[in-house]
Amino acid sequence: MSLKMNQSLSVTVDNVLFTIRDDSLHVLLVKRAKEPFAGQWALPGGILDTDKDADGERAASRILEEKTGLRINYLEQLRTYAGDFDPRGYTVSIAHFALTSDFALSPKVASVEEAQWVPVKLLSDLKLAFIHRDIIEDALNRLREKAKYSLIPLYCLPKQFTIVGFTKVMSVILGKTIQRKTVQRRLEQVEAIVPVKGEVATGTRGPQSQLYTLTKPINEINFERNLN
């Protein structure tokens, strides 16, 4: 615990931001302009700024906000990767896991940085920089595990959502059919989730569906049983 400085060591922050578009899971990637790994896809990240960033989460928020122009719905630390995966030297990368509702990337951001929503299913076809494939894999596992016992996939949806909408998100994330009934039972026992009175979703065939919303954060709510 004596602190001589570590030599030639970079500390970065990387972010795995997921959303649901068109009933499939997408992750935000940027195309690298410079070496190393120029032309390859990478997670949106940056260098930890010891002046601006009081901690890792705030660093991640700052960087994501710079890249997307938006505040995202949910963010937590994923894990930290230390090692020799950057040709420029030993690196410590604090990776974060984030969720947001589907939105269009602002054109400026999209052009300058070439940030894009990439369907997770297509990742195997892409070249990914550094160890970002592993990081995405870990983030995916985190998301899938949490989907089993928590409500955080709600953060992939807009402020107002329907039971069926959430059921679809859950099914997409877990890769298997989830019963509406099951989702409904879970939602209705959480007092932080309330129907928006008067507000219904329409457009599709069938009856109008009730819209719900969150009155407080639901990231701490865990269920006793996992789905499946």
Partner DNA sequence: ATTAACTGTGTCCCTGTGACACTATTAATT
Partner DNA sequence: AATTAATAGTGTCACAGGGACACAGTTAAT
- The stretch among 2-10, 103-111, 166-174, 178-186 that binds a copy of itself (CB under 8 A) is 2-10
Smallest distance, a copy of itself to C-beta of residue 79, A: 5
- The rounded distance, in Å, linking the Cα atoms of 175 and 4 is 48
Smallest distance, DNA to C-beta of residue 117, A: 24
Burial letters 63-102, b for 16+ CB under 10 A, else e:
bbeebbeeebbbbeebeebeeeebeeeebebbbbbbbbbe
Query: By the criterion CB under 7 A, which residues form the site for DNA?
Result: 162-164, 177-182, 184-186, 202-210, 223-225, 227-228
Query: Taken in order 77, 219, 102, 176, is the CA torsion positive or negative?
Result: positive
What does residue 199 show for φ and ψ, rounded to 5 degrees? -95, 125
Q: Which one of a copy of itself, DNA, none is in contact with 216 (Cβ closer than 5 to 8 A by kind)? A: none
Q: Which one of a copy of itself, DNA, none is in contact with 56 (Cβ closer than 5 to 8 A by kind)? A: a copy of itself
- The stretch among 77-85, 100-108, 159-167, 189-197 that binds a copy of itself (CB under 8 A) is 77-85
Write out the two tokens for 198: 């008067």
The answer to whether residue 175 forms part of the interface with a copy of itself (CB under 8 A) is no
Q: Which of 32, 143, 151, 157 binds a copy of itself (CB under 8 A)?
A: 32
Q: Which one of a copy of itself, DNA, none is in contact with 7 (Cβ closer than 5 to 8 A by kind)? A: a copy of itself
Smallest distance, DNA to C-beta of residue 210, A: 4
Nearer to a copy of itself, 177 or 208 (CB): 177
Write out the two tokens for 145: 């595990």
> Cβ–Cβ contacts within 10 Å for residue 58, how many?
14
Of 101-160, binders to a copy of itself (CB under 8 A) are 129, 149
The answer to whether residue 38 forms part of the interface with a copy of itself (CB under 8 A) is no
Smallest distance, DNA to C-beta of residue 178, A: 6
Nearer to DNA, 11 or 163 (CB): 163
Q: Which one of DNA, a copy of itself, none is in contact with 204 (Cβ closer than 5 to 8 A by kind)? A: DNA
What does residue 116 show for φ and ψ, rounded to 5 degrees? -145, 145
Burial letters 149-182, b for 16+ CB under 10 A, else e:
ebbbbbbbbeebbbbbbbbbbbbbbbeeebeeee
- The rounded distance, in Å, linking the Cα atoms of 158 and 72 is 11
Nearer to a copy of itself, 202 or 228 (CB): 228
Q: Which of 227, 81, 103 is nearest to 155 (CA)?
A: 103
